[in-house]
Structure 1
Amino acid sequence: MDNYRNPQVVSRSEWLSARRQLLLHEKALTHQRDELSRARRALPWVRIEQPYSFEGPHGHLSLADLFAGRSQLLVYHFMFDEGWSEGCSGCSFLADHFDGANLHLAHHDVSLVAVSRAPFARFQAFRQRMGWKFPWVSSHASPFNREFGVSVSDDGSSQYNYEPYSGSETELPGLSVFYRDADGTIFHTYSSYARGLDILVGAYNFLDLMPKGRNEEGTMDWVRHHDRYEGADADKSHCCHE
């Protein structure tokens, strides 16, 4: 049974004792997370040889163009396929966090860009509906999505999250990180998928502090596009959910 349904009620001094014990675990996890981040940064790099092509608001873009003059690039592989009229609700949940982050990342040598397989024109109405400002481009004419593991086959021949994939979705979420050297050479440094994307979801960090936690039966089963929550029109301040 979840703790919030049957809480142990104690005195303030007993609570402080339990809280101090939990703090030891929290500090240990923080140190483990720091070690994991160091190990992530220590991964070997792969030189990008393929001239990937993208489409943005002003036409053709190269992978180098996505850096926008910075040395680091984080690509979010946003699920939006050719025939869709709106983006995946889970990807949209993550994307609701991007504009706030980009206010700071752009001043710290990082470009954050969403990339989708659908043609550029296909997702413009949805982008406007969501009110997003972050860069979002199409990889429609490029093998980029396939080669970075997010456009897959449902016939059992593909991998997703570094394991054989047996699901039915052919577009999947992920993130990929790139570095651009001073001489223009581009390297792939990291990619992550599935629960590895939790690190981008600030709302989950808030929920993890709450008595009910994430309170979901399946990952993101409660999530809606932020204009489809009950009362969304009346209260725009809660559009950090998606």
Structure 2
Amino acid sequence: MEADLALIGPHGPLTLLEAFEGRRQLITYYFMWHPGHPAAEQCEDCTWCATQVAELPYTHSRDITYAVFCQGPCDENSRYRDFMGWDMPWYAAEESLDALLVGRPIGPMYLVCYVRDGDRVFETYRTTRRGVEAMDYSYSLMDLTVYGRQEPWQDSPPGWPHSWIGTSERLRINGHPIAQWSRMHAKRSDDLGNHPSVNRRSEPKALRAARRGNRFMEPFSAGVARV
């Protein structure tokens, strides 16, 4: 693989080789992106995956760098990273996706590993869809509890909680990826600079409440932990 494939980081252009930060291996998460769409409409699955990775010293101790390669425009996705408060290495890879994902569709989420030998870079592993659950700890912990994930596909006895009525919304609350709500409650700006100002009167009541600094609405039954 070409080591000089172009990326864009917070300090400007860099290469794939430079994204290793001098370490031997690199794990990358390819973040899906919907150009021109507001934060609420960005991928809930990728937001869920990216939120799981908070501490990197353990991977660094094994000579491994972790980074997110976003598949959208730099200006938009860097604002999203700031809104979410993530501090992991984050690069816009839009310019080089054809070469980075050669033979694979551009757009879906991917988890890809690389190793370098001097100035040469090799791809060693890739997965997508359910394979990216390797990044998650939330579901792994839920699976240890008596009620599990509380999703409709579970063969649970009558009367057991099923908080999520449809799998398409399992990672959203009131139209937003779940992890966004704590950021909005903290009054962080979710403006990605890519769409006209919205009519606040047309916003969901829960979102207007969050913008006013009130406790956001949550469709959980009693006894279920809040976000």
Q: TM-score, normalised by structure 2?
A: 0.66
Aligned pairs, how many? 168
Regions of 4+ moved over 6 Å: none
Pairing 1:180–2:116 present: yes
- Paired residue for 1:121? 75
Q: Is the 8 A contact 2:27 2:113 kept in 1?
A: yes
Contact 1:81 1:116 in 2 (8 A): no
State how far apart, in whole Å, the 2-side matches of 1:127 and 1:73 are: 20
Q: Percent identity?
A: 27
Q: Deviations over 1:49-105 (max 9, x none)?
A: 4742111112111110110000010010101133233331111111111122x1321
Q: The residue matched to 1:99 in structure 2 has which SS?
A: coil
Q: Which amino acid aligns with 1:227?
A: Q
- Counterpart in the other structure of 1:190: 125
How far apart are 1:106 and its partner, in Å?
Answer: 2.1
CA distance in structure 1 between the aligned counterparts of 2:114 and 2:94, rounded to whole angstroms: 20
Q: Which consecutive residues of structure 2, in runs of 5 or more, have no partner in the other structure?
A: 153-165, 187-214, 217-225
Give how far 1:148 is off: 6.4
Q: Quick one: structure 1 residues 82 and 208, their matched pair in 2 at CA, closer, same or farther if it must change by over 3 Å?
A: same
Aligned-residue offset at 1:220: 6.6
**Aligned mate of 2:143, from 200, 205, 208:** 208
Match of 2:33 in 1: 80
Q: Which ranges in structure 1 are unaligned for 5 or more consecutive residues?
A: 1-47, 152-170, 236-240
Please give the alpha-carbon distance, in whole angstroms, between the structure 2 residues aligned to 1:66 and 1:92: 21
Instruction: Report how far residue 144 of structure 1 moved.
Output: 4.0
AA at the equivalent of 2:108: L
Give the match for residue 196 of structure 2: none
Pick from 93, 98, 111 the counterpart of residue 53 of structure 2. 98
Report if aligned partners of 1:150, 1:174 keep a CA contact under 8 Å in 2: no
Under a length normalisation based on structure 1, what TM-score does the superposition of the two structures give? 0.62
| TM-fit CA distance, 1:172 | 1.0
User: Which structure is larger by alpha-carbon Rg, 1 or 2?
Assistant: 1
